């Protein structure tokens, strides 16, 4: 099992171009649809530790509970990430019983692709626009970014949660 995530997020001006480049490079779509993301905290503890506790659900399908640790020093975004599939209602009841409260929620449209060893996602957030995320080893992230026509000037350093908190406060 891997418990570290290495990824890079890029702002996109034209998702159609990226889709065409993904297709040309042999990318295979593995999922598409609406996604709900709910973040929980216990009296500000997780936020003070720069930790995120997220319950994610694709449509009305299965849910995934994720704990993301603080960012580590790395060329790309690297952090501890522990995920497990859960029953959505049971996970919400468990979090509530433990004293966690939902502190943020957002929906996005997500398309996920497999391109070689990389997981590539195209995300649309209504208030923020289109983003591309590439999750892989650093060398693979750089290679795929080049294939898809994005570079350092397109990088988005903030997580979606950071963008949401900045926007709401």
The enclosing domain of 112 has a CATH number of: 2.40.320.10
CB 145, CB 120: distance < 8 Å: no
Per-residue pLDDT at 168: 54
Instruction: Report the domain count for the chain.
Output: 1
- Is the pTM of the predicted complex or chain greater than 0.95? no
Q: Indicate whether 2 pLDDT > 80.
A: no
Per-residue pLDDT at 1: 52
For the chain, the maximum distance between any two Cα atoms, rounded to a whole number of angstroms, is: 49
Percent of the chain with pLDDT over 90: 83
| Model confidence pLDDT, tens digit, residues 4-13 | 899 999 999 9
Q: Indicate whether 169 pLDDT > 50.
A: no
CB 120, CB 112: distance < 8 Å: yes
| Domain hosting residue 80, numbered range | 4-168
Could you tell me where the beta strands, DSSP code E, fall in 59-128? Answer: 63-72, 77-86, 101-115, 118-125
Q: Which two tokens stand for residue 139?
A: 């060398």
């Amino acid at each position: 099992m891997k418990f570290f995530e290495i990824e890079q997020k890029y702002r996109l001006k034209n998702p159609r171009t990226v889709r065409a480049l993904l297709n040309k490079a042999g990318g295979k779509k593995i999922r598409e649809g609406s996604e709900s993301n709910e973040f929980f905290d216990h009296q500000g503890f997780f936020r003070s530790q720069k930790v995120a506790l997220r319950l994610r659900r694709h449509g009305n399908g299965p849910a995934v509970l994720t704990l993301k640790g603080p960012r580590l020093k790395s060329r790309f975004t690297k952090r501890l990430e522990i995920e497990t599939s859960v029953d959505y209602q049971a996970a919400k009841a468990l979090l509530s019983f433990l004293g966690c409260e939902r502190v943020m929620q957002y929906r996005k449209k997500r398309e996920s692709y497999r391109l070689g060893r990389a997981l590539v996602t195209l995300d649309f957030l209504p208030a923020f626009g289109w983003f591309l995320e590439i999750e892989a080893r650093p060398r693979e992230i750089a290679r795929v970014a080049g294939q898809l026509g994005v570079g350092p000037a397109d990088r988005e350093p903030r997580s979606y949660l950071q963008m949401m908190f900045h926007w709401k406060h």
